[in-house]
Chains A and B, each alone.
Chain A
Amino acid sequence: SQKIEQNSEALNIQEGKTATLTCNYTNYSPAYLQWYRQDPGRGPVFLLLIRENEKEKRKERLKVTFDTTLKQSLFHITASQPADSATYLCALDISSGGSYIPTFGRGTSLIVHP
């Protein structure tokens, strides 16, 4: 069966450290993968998109890697800040009948301690 797995346990780190979140998937061949941030009581907000032929993407303090052999994406936040505390969702866009169907993981909660 198809699965998208994100660590269900919260990731606790100290301010200034690099946070690394993992998204693993099985039985999918995604065209691309997206990362979203969700704060309590709000909808997810898009952060980064990486395509299947890209290995790495960066945006300010954020970096995403995509390994289609390992079927894994890593999401890094460098110099983390308490304001980075949120739940981070990965989403795979699967090609289906000419359209792309987004499928989300359940998210990992990140807590950055001052």
Chain B
Amino acid sequence: DAGVIQSPRHEVTEMGQEVTLRCKPISGHNSLFWYRQTMMRGLELLIYFNNNVPIDDSGMPEDRFSAKMPNASFSTLKIQPSEPRDSAVYFCASSTGSGDTQYFGPGTRLTVL
């Protein structure tokens, strides 16, 4: 298996632009997680899905952030409009269940100028 796939690996954009991050979980995994990692705040859970349904989005910082999972093999995290404080590494992870071992993707390094 290729593991969790994320794209793009790096994204540089200007403030105010829309950013879309993509994730393909490991086939057969029912849970998908989006995290943000910064030096200041560490690894923060933004949202997680179980069987394509959002279960907990309390970590989503504000309405500028949205996430979707239209099917079991694809999820997106969108930021619109982006701001410099959104600069971070965004990780996607998947697991067979909400409490099971998580497998992380390589992350997307986002820089908002």
By a beta-carbon cutoff of 8 Å, the part of chain A in contact with chain B is 31-32, 34, 41-46, 49, 89, 93, 96-97, 99-107
* Category for how many chain B residues contact A: 20 to 34
| Residue ID in chain A nearest B56 by CB atoms | A101
Query: Provided the pairs A46-B101, A46-B103 are in contact, do residues A103 and B55 lie with their beta carbons within 8 angstroms?
Result: no
23 contacts between A and B (CB under 8 A): A34-B101, A41-B106, A42-B106, A43-B104, A43-B106, A43-B107, A49-B101, A96-B56, A97-B55, A97-B56, A99-B50, A99-B55, A99-B56, A100-B99, A101-B48, A101-B98, A102-B102, A104-B35, A104-B43, A106-B41, A106-B43, A107-B42, A107-B43
Query: Provided the pairs A89-B43, A100-B99, A102-B45 are in contact, do residues A43 and B105 lie with their beta carbons within 8 angstroms?
Result: yes
Query: Provided the pairs A101-B56, A103-B45, A104-B43 are in contact, do residues A93 and B106 lie with their beta carbons within 8 angstroms?
Result: no
Chain B residue numbers with a CB within 8 Å of A106 are 41-43
Query: CA of A41 to CA of B89 in the docked complex: distance in angstroms?
Result: 9
Chain A residue numbers with a CB within 8 Å of B106 are 41-43
Main secondary structure of the interface of A (DSSP, over half): strand
Main secondary structure of the interface of B (DSSP, over half): strand
Expressed in whole angstroms, the minimum distance between the Cβ of A10 and any Cβ of chain B is: 14
Contact A45 B33 (CB under 8 A): no
Query: Provided the pairs A42-B107, A43-B107, A46-B103 are in contact, do residues A100 and B43 lie with their beta carbons within 8 angstroms?
Result: no
Proximity bits, B78-113, A CB within 8 Å = 1, else 0: 000000000000010100001101111111000000
Contact A101 B105 (CB under 8 A): no
State which of A31, A97, A107 has its C-beta within 8 Å of the C-beta of B99: A31
Which 9 A-B residue pairings sit nearest by Cβ, starting from the closest?
A: A43-B104, A100-B99, A106-B42, A104-B43, A99-B98, A46-B101, A100-B98, A44-B104, A43-B91
Expressed in whole angstroms, the minimum distance between the Cβ of B98 and any Cβ of chain A is: 4
Chain A residue numbers with a CB within 8 Å of B33 are 102
Expressed in whole angstroms, the minimum distance between the Cβ of A79 and any Cβ of chain B is: 25
Chain A residue numbers with a CB within 8 Å of B41 are 106
| Residue ID in chain A nearest B40 by CB atoms | A106
